[in-house]
Amino acid sequence: MKKLLIANWKMELNEAETLDLVLNYKKRLKKITQVEIAFAPSCVYLKEVKNLLGRTHLQLAAQNVAAQAKGKYTGEISAAQIKELGCSYVIVGHSERRIKMNETDDMVNRKINQCYHNDLIPILCIGETLEEKNSGRSDSAIVRQLQAAISKVDGLPENELVIAYEPVWAVGTGQFLEAENIFAFHRTIKRTVSSLYSEKFYNDKVRLLYGGSINSIIAKDYWVSEVLDGILVGGASLDIEEMYNVALEGE
């Protein structure tokens, strides 16, 4: 499996800005062939972005998905609808949704199930809060989130899973967990996933990303980490040169 770079544009851009960014990325990222790249624009622009991407190797990701398959859920967007729009991936359980939108572990689990029912690869976000970190509960927070999210999932272990380890205190703050400190978290994540499924599943089907205040200056340390398979970028992915340089470091 290729290394993966996800660009999460959150709710930062209007239509013109989104399309402009995509057109520029199409040109700028032509030389990037070794890293798989997926853009996660606001859902209202998914179709337009898909049309612009055309037959390039650039992929599309949704930022969220409904926990339910279909029905009377005003304002929600189903996994089937997201699939129709041309997405390959869906970000599930991002800390901004867990904290600001009260998304629970149970909802995250149901969303993951919806992804697999619709042939979408979930990018499961996990990570400890500052409070959990300061009270020595980082590991237990991650184990809890992982167990809740991927236990009793129909599509596993047959399908791929992307796990984005994003310490909440590092997302959008300018602070980050140094690459050399990822090893302990990798051990916890691998052990937990392997005990739920198997070590073979982890080795063959799981890609582990790091996210949280990544920029082009520090990206290389994460790309070369033997326990990581990619990076999830938020703020830096809104800047073409920054994103290009982050991708280039992974080539």
Quote the DSSP letter at residue 5.
E
For residue 175, the 8-state DSSP code is: -
Angle at 8 between CA 147 and CA 173, to 5 degrees: 80
**179, 221 in Cβ contact below 8 A?**
yes
SS3 165: strand
57 is catalytic: no
Comparison of 48 and 239: residue with beta carbon closer to ligand PGA: 239
> What distance in Å separates the CA atoms of residue 123 and residue 86, rounded to the nearest whole number?
16
Q: Which residues contact 84 (CB under 8 A, 6 or more apart)?
A: none
DSSP type of residue 166:
-
Q: At its nearest, how many Å lie between ligand PGA and the CB of residue 141?
A: 16
CB of 117 to ligand PGA, least distance (A): 25
Tokens of residue 118, six digits: 């619709």
Q: How far is the CB of 158 from ligand PGA (least distance, A)?
A: 27
Q: Residue 121: enclosing H or E segment and its boundaries? A: strand 121-126
Orientation angle between helical segments 15-28 and 240-249, nearest 10 degrees: 40
Identify which of residues 11 and 71 has a Cβ nearer to ligand PGA in the complex.
11
Catalytic (active site) residue 94 = yes
Shortest distance in whole angstroms from residue 6 CB to ligand PGA: 8
End-to-end CA distance of the chain: 14
The catalytic residue among 96, 166, 242, 249 is 166
Our CB check for ligand PGA shows the closer of 58 and 177 to be 177
Cβ nearer to ligand PGA, comparing 193 with 236? 236
CB of 12 vs ligand PGA, minimal distance in Å: 10
Nearer to ligand PGA, 118 or 213 (CB): 213
Binding-site ranges for ligand PGA (CB under 6 A): 8, 166, 171-172, 211-214, 232-236
Which residue is closest to ligand PGA by CB? 234
Burial of 251 (0-12, 13-18, 19+ CB in 10 A): exposed
Catalytic residues: 94, 166
